[in-house]
Amino acid sequence: MSASQPGRDSARKEQEERSLDLVQRTIISALVGVVFGTFAAVLAAYLAIRGDQDLPPFSVTGLWVMSGVLGLVTAAAILLINRKRPYSPWVLLGLLPMVITAPWILR
């Protein structure tokens, strides 16, 4: 086995950046982020605004935790689509809707 040459690695990286694969991954990542991220954010916002009026407290807490899990799964899916490790610190961005609505849910 021969060692990789720095010039060859940079040329391959430039080719990948210009490829259609990168565009496809970007578009799919955006779609996954918008669809599932919006679902997690809207669920958390609904629970913060109307959850205590429409649902019992244990249901509000359970759905609130589920919105955090959905956010984590969404962030991990985006990382996997972009060929990154799903256990990166970036996954914690998926908890953002849960963290923002925490003061209203936990009062």
Single out the residue of 31, 52, 33 nearest to residue 41, CA to CA. 33
What share of the chain has pLDDT > 90, as a percent? 64
* CB of 76 closer than 8 Å to CB of 91: yes
pLDDT at 2: 54
Task: Find the helix packing angle between 57-81 and 20-49, rounded to 10°.
Answer: 170
What mean pLDDT is reported for the chain?
Answer: 89
pTM metric for this prediction: 0.77
103, HSE (Cβ side, Cα atoms, 13 Å)? 1
Question: Does residue 102 carry a pLDDT above 80?
Answer: yes
Q: Which two tokens stand for residue 16?
A: 């990948």
Question: What is the tens place of the pLDDT at every residue in 27-74?
Answer: 999 999 999 999 999 999 999 999 889 989 899 999 999 999 999 999
Q: What is the rounded average pLDDT of the residues 84-94?
A: 91
